[in-house]
Structure 1
């Protein structure tokens, strides 16, 4: 947002990525205010038309998101709720019932970004969340190294890496961007990434 990128700009990027052959699920992550300014129903409709598969709205709890959740449901895009280490267990049932694709488990309190270590309580948090849902659980916030990906992958179905990929993007020119991200993903996952 500080660079002047709008929600409409993001949708253009989604559309371009799909046009270039991206087939992986693509979930938009951001804040509620841009969606309100754009219009929640229109945001869901335009995101679906562009090829997005869902939304993670970090400051929109499910119990305050009924209008947006309904708009997403009407467009067959997911609303992905977040559960943090500070989420009371009694709220987890409400939060998980709002999900239709996966649960985003926030590994640490505070802001996202790379960390040297992840808290040892991630496994316990994932186990607690599992009491309330059969949906896949993906853990993110602070995950950036191969060891962390392996650690999280041993307790959850999904691992979310964001800030480290942004760092790879910002580490050089536009021309080398795709290769930097591919190299990072191969390094952190231990798998080869298809170059097509």
Structure 2
């Protein structure tokens, strides 16, 4: 069992709310990344998802797209982010969220080798289909980096069983059809869908996309282990509201 899976399963067994904030690495400048990770850690983040800026972010809503564009304007790249992460120490597991193209351009073997020199314990690649994961899984086998699967509302149940069995770290349950963003409406069948994923999964299931309030967190805790929050965190950080970010996370993880 890899470290990310073990740490999050322990929180789940202790009935703690697993809260994973997402930030766009470099949106406020790479020199701010260490401070942002420290802020989220001190607020109570279970793990931290770091977005990598990309020119064609198909899963990202307007807030995260805008943050990615700011990072690209700051000449932030995947290679620069990893170099920065080599110098950042944190007790909180880090998870990279990137599209496959930046990894391919980096070089698959070099990417995994460099990533292993950081505190990154998880990897999310939204545009890498399950059938093509063998491009990376042999390289990840000897590392402590988990390849985290995404499960959509439209994923058939047989496929859900397959994805949860193969996935590591946690299971990313996409709570809406479409892209990330604040103010999304959830389908009535969502809680049943999430409960089924958690039933067949031996890893924690986290709901993401559209989660932006304490009420959302409380709702999802009834059917899965916790949440991933992106757009709300990214928006507040872009407005310089670090205190509000900290207060939101502390409230969300309190039982």
Superposition TM-score tier, normalisation by shorter sequence:
0.7 to 0.9
Checking the alignment, whether the CA contact within 8 Å between 1:29 and 1:57 is kept in structure 2 is yes
Q: Tell me the SS of whatever aligns to 1:36.
A: helix
Q: Tell me the SS of whatever aligns to 2:141.
A: helix
Asked if 1:41 corresponds to 2:96, the answer is no
Asked if 1:61 corresponds to 2:129, the answer is yes
Asked if 1:186 corresponds to 2:247, the answer is no
CA gap of 1:124–1:109, structure 2 versus 1, over 3 A, is same
CA distance in 1, matches of 2:76, 2:181: 20
Checking the alignment, whether the CA contact within 8 Å between 2:220 and 2:227 is kept in structure 1 is yes
Q: Tell me the SS of whatever aligns to 1:160.
A: strand
> 1:100: how far off?
2.2
> 1:188: how far off?
3.8
Equivalent position of 2:226 in the other structure: 158
1:52 to 106, 120, 137: 120
> 1:116: how far off?
4.9
Q: How does 1:1-196 map to 2 (within 5 A)?
A: 1=53, 2=69, 3=72, 4-18=75-89, 22-172=90-240, 177=242, 179-190=243-254
Q: Which has the higher contact order (CA 8 A, sep 6+)?
A: 2
> 1:122: how far off?
2.3
CA distance in 1, matches of 2:142, 2:109: 9
CA distance in 1, matches of 2:214, 2:86: 30
> 1:158: how far off?
2.1
Query: What root-mean-square deviation, in Å, do the aligned CA atoms of Structure 1 and Structure 2 show?
Result: 2.0
CA distance in 2, matches of 1:74, 1:180: 40
Write the deviation string for residues 100-153 of structure 1: whole angstroms up to 9, x where unpaired: 221110101100111254333222112222353221111111101110011112
Give the TM-score normalised by structure 1: 0.84
CA distance in 2, matches of 1:183, 1:9: 30
Write the deviation string for residues 10-59 of structure 1: whole angstroms up to 9, x where unpaired: 223433442xxx21111111211111111122212211211101101111
Q: Tell me the SS of whatever aligns to 2:82.
A: helix
List gaps (5 residues or longer) in structure 1. 192-196
User: How many residue pairs were aligned?
Assistant: 184
CA distance in 2, matches of 1:10, 1:111: 24
